[in-house]
Every structure is written in structure tokens, then in C-alpha cells.
């Protein structure tokens, strides 16, 4: 599925959070979206998933217009997303949370079918043993996997992952990366926002770099890691520069 963002701009009062951003997610790809804090990554996901419309610009999936359509319509067109700040329905069971995700993704889905989808997805993210717990009782790694499960239950063609590795320990990161790889292997294209550069470099075919709402570079891992503009954007953070260059 080709997801195209063309000249998207979004302002918040005086601030231009996303400024004339254009890029494509091509069929079969995992695309990394990186940039310093506040560079507009989450806002871009919000534009694509319909949380709010862009002030200008277009978003299309296989040429189908998604711009400014409501979130449920965009989900049903095939875009799934996770939230950087996980948002489970804390009093509902893990399984119910995932079934809600299934219903959001499809119109008039019978409840029995929603639970079938939920059970399949819970297996995929290894949450079956926790399925009857209240979502609020999960630890952070489990909440991140639940967030992914809710998005997957909508049976997306394209998945937007917003910092699904944040707050996880190295073992949990490894487990999550395995899940993402498996999801991609079964044909779901992925855009991932992530600060763990090794993960981005390992998983992504191409990387788009944002700074202050603008695309400052895009290309393969080595291409962006050696781009002087990218290095300058990250200069405040030498650790990140080292990671980008593969020494971290």
C-alpha cells in the first residue's frame, strides 16, 4: 500500500508543528520517522490518522483521499496506529480492549467476530495469559503490546507505531521487535517513530528525518546517518549522533 503525504502543514496558534511535509510509504516497506523531541512526529501521525485535519496538504492511500476524514473512516480505509501515551480502557479486560479495536476498524462487525479477531491478535502479541486482566493492571511493556494489539485488531494495511519501544528494557525491546517483524512479514506496511536508533537501523528500509516540523533528510540508514543536516539537528545530543553513526 502506498501512503502518500503531500505538502502537509499543521499549525498550533503561532507554532508550525508540521511544515510542508512530503514523503511516501511504499508497498512492502518499513519506514522510520525520526527527529528530536517536538519535531512534529506525533502531529504527523495525528494528521494521517485523522485526529485533526492538516491546514493544507493531502494524504492518500493507494490514491484514495484520506485528508481530513474522521478517524474511524481512516481506520476502516486501512490505517492503524498506536499512541505514544498508551490509552487503554483501564477498567475493561485486555480481551475487551482488543475487541473494541476490532470494532473501530470495521463497520458493523459482529461481536463474536470481534472476539475471534481479538483472540488471534492477542496470540500474535503474546498477551493470551493476560487476556482476562483489567487493562489498567498491565505493566508498561504489556500496555505497549496491548496498544499494538488494539491497532492490529482493526486489520490495518498500514501501521503507524509511535514510540512502542519507549520505556521497555532490552529483553522487552527484542520481543517487541520480533512482533513488529512478524506483522510486517504478513504484509502490513509500517511507519515507526522511534528514538532507539539501532532498532530503526535494523528494521527500516528507509528513514525520514524531521526537524522543527520539516523533512530535513530521507534515504537509507547510512545515507541519513551521514547527512550533515541530520548530524547538525542532533548536535544537542552527542549520544544520538553516535547511535546514528552506528557506534552506540
Residues that bind ligand ADP (CB under 6 A): 12, 15, 17, 35, 37-43
User: Quick check: helix, strand or coil at residue 190?
Assistant: strand
Strand pairing category for 56-61 and 158-162: unpaired
Nearer Cβ to Mg ion (131/195): 195
Q: How far is the CB of 98 from ligand ADP (least distance, A)?
A: 25
Stretch that binds Mg ion, among 24-32, 35-43, 87-95, 138-146 (CB under 5 A): 35-43
Per DSSP, what are the bridge partners of residue 168? none
Stretch that binds Mg ion, among 36-44, 110-118, 143-151, 174-182 (CB under 5 A): 36-44
| Interaction of residue 42 with Mg ion, rule CB under 5 A | yes
Of the candidates 8, 94, 96, 113, which has an alpha carbon nearest to the alpha carbon of residue 50?
Answer: 8
- Please choose which of Mg ion, ligand ADP, none residue 128 contacts, taking the beta carbon within 5 to 8 angstroms, the exact cut-off set by kind: none
Q: How far is the CB of 15 from ligand ADP (least distance, A)?
A: 6
Residues 23 and 184 sit within 8 Å (Cβ to Cβ): no
Buried b (16+ CB within 10 A) or exposed e, 189-208: bbbbbbbbbebbbebbbbbb
Per DSSP, what are the bridge partners of residue 61? 3, 64
With contacts defined by CB under 5 A, how many residues of the chain interact with Mg ion? 3
Nearer Cβ to Mg ion (82/97): 82
Q: How far is the CB of 215 from ligand ADP (least distance, A)?
A: 12
**Cell numbers describing residue 202:** 535494523
> Which residues contribute to the site for Mg ion (CB under 5 A)?
41-42, 84
Amino acid at each position: 500500500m502506498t501512503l502518500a503525504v503531500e505538502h502537509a502543514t499543521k499549525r498550533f496558534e503561532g507554532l508550525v508543528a508540521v511544515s510542508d511535509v512530503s514523503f511516501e510509504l511504499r508497498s512492502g516497506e518499513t519506514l522510520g520517522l525520526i527527529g528530536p523531541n517536538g519535531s512534529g512526529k506525533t502531529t504527523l501521525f495525528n494528521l494521517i490518522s485523522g485526529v485533526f485535519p492538516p491546514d493544507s496538504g493531502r494524504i492518500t492511500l493507494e490514491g484514495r483521499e484520506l485528508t481530513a476524514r474522521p478517524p474511524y473512516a481512516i481506520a476502516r480505509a486501512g490505517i492503524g496506529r498506536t499512541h505514544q501515551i498508551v490509552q487503554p480502557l483501564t477498567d475493561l479486560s485486555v480481551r475487551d480492549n482488543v475487541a473494541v479495536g476490532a470494532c473501530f476498524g470495521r463497520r458493523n462487525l459482529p461481536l463474536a467476530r470481534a472476539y475471534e479477531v481479538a483472540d488471534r491478535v492477542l496470540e500474535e502479541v503474546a498477551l493470551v495469559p493476560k487476556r482476562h486482566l483489567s487493562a489498567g493492571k498491565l505493566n508498561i511493556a504489556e500496555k505497549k503490546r496491548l496498544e499494538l494489539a488494539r491497532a492490529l485488531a482493526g486489520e490495518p494495511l498500514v501501521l503507524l507505531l509511535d514510540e512502542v519501544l519507549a520505556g521497555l528494557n532490552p529483553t522487552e525491546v527484542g520481543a517487541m521487535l520480533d512482533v513488529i517483524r512478524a506483522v510486517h512479514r504478513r504484509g502490513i506496511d509500517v511507519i515507526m517513530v522511534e528514538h532507539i536508533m539501532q532498532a530503526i537501523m535494523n528494521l527500516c528500509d528507509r528513514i525520514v528525518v524531521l526537524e522543527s516540523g520539516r523533512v530535513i533528510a530521507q534515504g537509507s540508514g547510512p545515507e541519513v546517518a551521514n547527512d550533515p543536516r541530520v548530524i547538525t539537528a542532533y548536535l544537542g545530543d552527542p549520544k544520538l549522533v553516535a547511535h546514528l553513526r552506528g557506534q552506540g
